[in-house]
Structure 1
Amino acid sequence: MSGISLIIPTYKRKIDFERTLHSVNKQIEDINEVITIIGPNDLESFNLASSFKSKLRNMKVIQSEKASVVHALNLGLQASTQDILCLTDDDIELPEGWAKRIKKAFKENTDMGAYGGPDKLISEELKDLAYNPVKEVGLFRWYGMVGNHHLGVKESPAVVDVLKGVNFSFRRDSLEDLSIDMFLKDRGAEQCWEIDLVQKIQGNGYKVIYDNENYLFHYISQRQQYDQRRDVFSVINYTNIKNMAYVYAKFRPFNEILFIIFYGLFIGTKVQPGIVRAFTMIKNYGLKVVLVPFKNVKAVGLGVFNGFRFRIKRNVFAKHKKRF
């Protein structure tokens, strides 16, 4: 095992990014390679990363031409050289021993393809937010996916179906194609790419482990104007609905796919409302909110169609391989 490649995309969050790099520097003896990907027109972050080159050995600073986390991560993956790839955000702080624990876990568990843990949320106003381990983390159920990654799990370590991208390490050999599906790419901090990667890793016969001891601190930072996930009318919500439908259609059983389609259309969430929920939100958002579910139908349809198309191609390819 040659070591760890730590990949950090960033875009116009200099204060958070600087905190992250300082925490990386404190355990650089256990991190063999640091790759930072700087978003377009972000000279401050580029200069900051460049100034750390004298401190962080084998540091690579890559300039991205697109404001997309999927695009940035793919650039980082292509530039990586180590056996363990650790993906994180620019608004985190690594606790002492984080990298050492990851190396130890992969060395002791040869059947483990991916390794994650809690991202303990911190707000400048509220300081340390609730960390309260729950029964289930990162699992698929017939009614959808259970998240709770920042809370911890009562019985740890635990085998899970999904890890959160902010604290996601995986074995290079667990993936045949070392890249994130470009269908998920749009703009900003696109979601569901980690679901896609983990499903591929599981499909290749590896375990995915969530461990309370493998934690880091995650600061709640300001997002770019186009990346406001709490805005009902945000374009990023359309992208995230499309991406979720896509990864479900690629990998999940048909009953789960049908449930998320109908639940999303009729019920939904507070930021991605279905028809019924939208009518209860008219008082706060006006009549235009009732149009949101119908706009989202297009996103779901696009995701499901392309997900099934991928699924069919994969099955045909698998059958073809068996003939030889």
Structure 2
Amino acid sequence: MRNTVLIPTYRRPQDLSRCLTALQAQTKPVDQVIVVVRDTDTETWQFLNQFPAHNLPLQIVTVTKSGVVAALNTGLAAVEGDIVSITDDDAAPHPDWLEKITAHFQSDGCIGGVGGRDWIHQGEKIEDGSCSIVGRLQWFGRVIGNHHLGVGKPREVDVLKGVNMSFRTQAMGKLRFDERMRGTGAQVHFEMAFTLSLKRAGWKIIYDPNVAVDHYPAQRFDEDQRQHFNEIAFTNLVHNETLVLLEHLPLPRRIVFLFWAILIGTRESLGLVQWLRFFPSQGKIVNKKLQASWRGRWQGWQTNKFTIHNS
């Protein structure tokens, strides 16, 4: 099976260098590497003009719109492989990454997606916790990630993580990443819509902790600054999550999800119970988080309603 690796990048040439060097060291050589670069990203263009590609079949694709969704969809149009593996520019796949990914797809023709663990590096430390429940969508709408903590044997999941996910191009067909995802850069939860669509179409989605990348979370150049609260980014995150779940949950579970989301929620998408839980430790900022969460829920519902009306 021919392997294509797709990497969206923006203004992080040092991280991209580490990623490409890791791809040069794969035990199963990559057949095509697509790097999607913004037209205005002069730092990355200068780096790629000087990068010693050697045996790496590097193909550079230009994108003019902001956001990871536009970058990935532009890159998908150039994919030639039987498998497309997506990772971030701030990640470095382990040497046997492509070998293990390919083995999964060859083992079962019903497998449409394969993902694995991203070992998160924070300075000199590596986050080395463990969790057996990974990538699950619970019946009432709560999504459990934990892809960076997964341990155990390969198993079926509902959701993969964008830094380490691969797809059978035959399974994808004409499916593309949802352009309604909000955000000017990261567009959180974009991968959830994609993997749930494959799952609904009957394809197996596999998570294997041994299909691994090292992840060095780098600076983002948009409103989403990871550890720092930003009202717009928070609202966008909840909007995206709400839109995806309203489209993929059946009607009875959709109603339960909306009640659960407003009354309880999670630490990332607050409801009333979570607001009460975090108020003693976070103070007034948790008020802004609750308002942003409810605004995101409303906007996600509105986007879903608009889509249904115009379909």
On whether the aligned pair clears a TM of 0.5, the verdict is yes
Aligned to 1:319: none
Equivalents in 2 of 1:291, 1:234: separation in Å?
A: 7
C-alpha deviations, 1:128-174, integer Å up to 9, x for none? Answer: 22142x332111113411211111233x1101111111110001111
2:178 to 176, 181, 190: 181
2:167 to 163, 167, 170: 170
C-alpha deviations, 1:42-62, integer Å up to 9, x for none? Answer: 212222223336425431112
Q: Spell out the pairing of 1:1-324 with structure 2 (5 A cutoff).
A: 1=1, 3-27=2-26, 30-52=29-51, 54-126=53-125, 128-132=126-130, 134-143=131-140, 144-154=142-152, 156-224=153-221, 226-278=223-275, 280-281=278-279, 284=282, 286=284, 289-307=286-304, 310=307
SS in 2 for 1:21: helix
Asked whether the equivalents of residues 264 and 273 of structure 1 are also in contact (C-alpha less than 8 Å), the reply is yes
SS in 1 for 2:59: strand
Equivalents in 2 of 1:111, 1:225: separation in Å?
A: 38
SS in 1 for 2:165: strand
SS in 1 for 2:85: strand
Q: Shift in Å at residue 266 of structure 1?
A: 3.5
Asked whether the equivalents of residues 28 and 96 of structure 2 are also in contact (C-alpha less than 8 Å), the reply is no
Equivalents in 1 of 2:201, 2:138: separation in Å?
A: 21
User: Which consecutive residues of structure 2, in runs of 5 or more, have no partner in the other structure?
Assistant: none
Q: 1:233/1:255 Cα in 2 relative to 1: closer, same or farther (>3 Å)?
A: farther
Asked whether the equivalents of residues 30 and 57 of structure 2 are also in contact (C-alpha less than 8 Å), the reply is no
Equivalents in 1 of 2:26, 2:20: separation in Å?
A: 10
SS in 1 for 2:180: helix
Asked whether the equivalents of residues 232 and 270 of structure 1 are also in contact (C-alpha less than 8 Å), the reply is no
SS in 1 for 2:210: coil
| Percent of aligned positions that are identical | 28
Asked whether the equivalents of residues 86 and 167 of structure 1 are also in contact (C-alpha less than 8 Å), the reply is yes
**Mean Cα deviation higher: 41-50 or 107-116:** 41-50
Equivalents in 1 of 2:309, 2:168: separation in Å?
A: 27
Q: 1:299/1:99 Cα in 2 relative to 1: closer, same or farther (>3 Å)?
A: same
Q: Shift in Å at residue 309 of structure 1?
A: 5.8
Q: CA RMSD in A?
A: 2.6
Q: Shift in Å at residue 104 of structure 1?
A: 2.0
Q: Structure 1 counterpart of 2:143, which letter?
A: M
Q: 1:74/1:225 Cα in 2 relative to 1: closer, same or farther (>3 Å)?
A: closer
Q: Structure 2 counterpart of 1:44, which letter?
A: E
Q: How many residues align?
A: 309
C-alpha deviations, 1:49-81, integer Å up to 9, x for none? Answer: 233364254311123223311111111111211
User: Which consecutive residues of structure 1, in runs of 5 or more, have no partner in the other structure?
Assistant: 315-324
Asked whether the equivalents of residues 112 and 208 of structure 1 are also in contact (C-alpha less than 8 Å), the reply is yes
